[in-house]
Structure 1
C-alpha cells in the first residue's frame, strides 16, 4: 500500500510547475494593474487640483469683466498661468468664460508602464472644474465695518454716478442731522455682521474718531448700500436699529453691498471731514455669504461650483 501512495506522489510532481507559472503570471498582471492604477489616481489628483486652482484664480478677474470685456482675456490668461505652474501642459486644457462663470476641462494622455504588457499604451485622464462669482448678501466674521455707506435716498442712481460719490459729508451751516454716518455700536453691542434686509441705525452728527485722512484716503473698503426708513418706522424683532441715546437717529435698511475706493478725505476740523469715493467692481476674499439672488452692486465672492 505504501509503495502505491509513493508512486502517486511521484506522478503529481511534474504538474506543480505549470500551476506555479500560471499563478505567477496572474499575480504579476494584477500587480502591474495596481501600480498603473495608482499612477493614474495620482495624475488625476494632480490635474484636478490644477484646474480647481485655475478657475479660482481666473474668477478673481471676472468682477471687472462684467463691465470691461477685455478683462475676460485677463481672466483666461491668469487661469492658464496657474495650469502651467502646476505642471500641466496648457495644450491639454480648455478654459471658457460664460457670464459670471469660468470653466476648465483637461484631457491628458498618461503613458502606462506595466499595462503595456496587455497592449494598453496610454490612458486618458480627464478633469473639469468651474467657479462662479456671486454677489454677497452678508458680511460676517472677519468683516471690519466702516461707519458709512451709500445712501440711495441721496444717490438713487449711484451705479451711474459711480465716480464721484460723497459717502460722508460736512456742512458748516448745519450742526445737526444725519451726514452719512452709521451707528455700528461698541463693546459687546458692536455690529460684526450685516445682512441684506437688515435694519440698522444712523449716527447723527459729523464727528467720528476714525474719520482721518491717514485712515481712509486711497483705501478700498466694502460698505453697505442702504435706504432711510420712515421716521415713524416701528421696530420689529431682530432689528439692530437703536434710536435711544441720540436725538435724530433714523433706521436704515441694507439693500446690498458695494466696494469703493476712497479718492479723497477733506478735513474741515478735528474728526470732521467729507469722504469721497468711486465704485469698484471687485471679488472679495472669503468671509461673506453669497446669494445669486442678492442685489448686484459689483462686489462678489468666488464659489467653486464643479
Structure 2
C-alpha cells in the first residue's frame, strides 16, 4: 500500500511539473514576443524620427527664401527615405521655424494573437533659425555694426586705405598678418571658428591686388548665372564678421570685436583700378551655432528644437 501511494505521489508531481513547464514556456514566449514587437516599434520610431529631423533641418535651410522651396526640400528628403506617405503635415514660419509631423503604421507579430495587428508611430521635429554667433569659413573682411545693412542693395567694401580716417578699411588679419594669409582666407575661407566677442587684429597695408585675385577665383569657379545666389555652394557668397571698434587709439584701429555675421554676394569682378569689392548683403542660413541675444545681421544658424 505504501508503494502504491508513493507511485501516485510521483505521478502527481510529474504532472504538476509538466503543467509548470508549460506555463513557463508560454510566459517565456509571451515575453520574447513582446520584446520582438517592442524592438520593431522602437526601430521604426527611431528611423521615422531621424527622417523627421532631417526634413526639418533641411527645410530650415530655405527659411530665408521662398516657402514653396521649404516644402519642396521636405518632400525631397521624405522621398529619399521612402517616407513620403508618412507626412501628416508641416508648419512653416518664414525666417523663424519649420515643423514636420510624420505618422506610420507598424505591423506587429506576436501581438496579433491579442488582436493588435499594427500600431501607429507618430513623431515630430522642429528646426529654428537664429542669428549666427559662431562660424567657420569667414572671409577676412569686416563691416562696422553701425553701418545699416539693406539687403539686395549694392555695397562697396573697401580694400585699400584711400579716403579713410583711421587707417583701417575693413580688412581682418584672420590667422595672422600677411598678404598671403589674407589671400588664402579670401579664396577659401578662414577654417577656424570665430565667435561673438572675439577680439581680432586688423590687417594693414594695401592688399587690393590680392583681393582682385581672390575675387577673380571665386567668380571664375561659380557655375551659376550672375545674380543667382540661391545655391548653397555658390563661391560668390562669402561670410563676413560684423564688428565694433575695439581699443581704438588716435587714428589707428588695431583691433575689432566681433558682434555678428553677415553674408555678402560678390556681384562683379574687380578691374585693375578697383579698390572695393562690389556686392550686396543677403539673408541666408549657414553652418554655425546660435546664441541668445545675438544681433541679427542676416546670417543664420539652424538649431533643432524638438
Band of TM-score, shorter chain: 0.7 to 0.9
Match for residue 33 of structure 2? 32
Match for residue 277 of structure 1? 279
TM-score normalised by length of structure 1? 0.76
Q: How far apart, CA to CA, are the structure 2 residues paired with 1:102 and 1:297?
A: 21
Task: Kindly state the Cα deviation for residue 15 of structure 1 after the two structures are TM-superposed.
Answer: 4.4
Structure 2 residue 163 is matched with structure 1 residue 167: no
SS in 2 for 1:265: coil
Measured on the aligned residues, the alpha-carbon RMSD in Å equals: 3.3
Match for residue 148 of structure 1? 141
Task: Kindly state the Cα deviation for residue 171 of structure 1 after the two structures are TM-superposed.
Answer: 8.2
Task: Kindly state the Cα deviation for residue 165 of structure 1 after the two structures are TM-superposed.
Answer: 0.8
Gaps of 5+ in 2: 183-189, 223-235
Number of residue pairs matched by the alignment: 277
After superposition, the C-alpha distances for 1:102-145 in whole angstroms (9 at most, x for unaligned) are 11122222222221111112212121211111211233xxx344
TM-score normalised by length of structure 2? 0.76
Aligned CA distance change for structure 1 residues 199 and 25 (closer, same or farther; 3 Å): closer
Contact 1:138 1:289 in 2 (8 A): yes
Q: How far apart, CA to CA, are the structure 1 residues paired with 2:244 and 2:153?
A: 20
Q: How far apart, CA to CA, are the structure 1 residues paired with 2:200 and 2:17?
A: 87
Task: Kindly state the Cα deviation for residue 39 of structure 1 after the two structures are TM-superposed.
Answer: 1.0
Q: How far apart, CA to CA, are the structure 2 residues paired with 1:112 and 1:59?
A: 34
Match for residue 302 of structure 1? 302
Moved more, 199-208 or 182-191: 182-191
Match for residue 58 of structure 1? 59
SS in 2 for 1:33: helix
Structure 2 residue 122 is matched with structure 1 residue 126: yes
Contact 1:80 1:90 in 2 (8 A): no
Aligned CA distance change for structure 1 residues 152 and 132 (closer, same or farther; 3 Å): closer
Q: How far apart, CA to CA, are the structure 1 residues paired with 2:71 and 2:260?
A: 29
Q: How far apart, CA to CA, are the structure 2 residues paired with 1:129 and 1:94?
A: 11
Structure 2 residue 205 is matched with structure 1 residue 210: no
Match for residue 256 of structure 2? 252
Moved more, 9-18 or 183-192: 183-192
Task: Kindly state the Cα deviation for residue 60 of structure 1 after the two structures are TM-superposed.
Answer: 0.9
Contact 1:231 1:250 in 2 (8 A): yes
Structure 2 residue 259 is matched with structure 1 residue 263: no
Q: How far apart, CA to CA, are the structure 1 residues paired with 2:264 and 2:249?
A: 31
Task: Kindly state the Cα deviation for residue 250 of structure 1 after the two structures are TM-superposed.
Answer: 4.8
Aligned CA distance change for structure 1 residues 131 and 172 (closer, same or farther; 3 Å): closer
Aligned CA distance change for structure 1 residues 33 and 171 (closer, same or farther; 3 Å): closer
After superposition, the C-alpha distances for 1:54-92 in whole angstroms (9 at most, x for unaligned) are 111111111x23xxxxx1221122112212321224354
Structure 2 residue 86 is matched with structure 1 residue 86: no
Contact 1:204 1:249 in 2 (8 A): no
Q: How far apart, CA to CA, are the structure 2 residues paired with 1:3 and 1:185?
A: 98
Contact 1:178 1:205 in 2 (8 A): no
Contact 2:161 2:167 in 1 (8 A): no
Contact 1:106 1:127 in 2 (8 A): yes
SS in 1 for 2:153: coil
SS in 2 for 1:268: coil
Q: How far apart, CA to CA, are the structure 2 residues paired with 1:131 and 1:167?
A: 33
Match for residue 241 of structure 1? none
Q: Which runs of 4+ in 1 moved over 6 A?
A: 171-174, 187-191
Q: How far apart, CA to CA, are the structure 2 residues paired with 1:96 and 1:26?
A: 46
Match for residue 224 of structure 1? 241
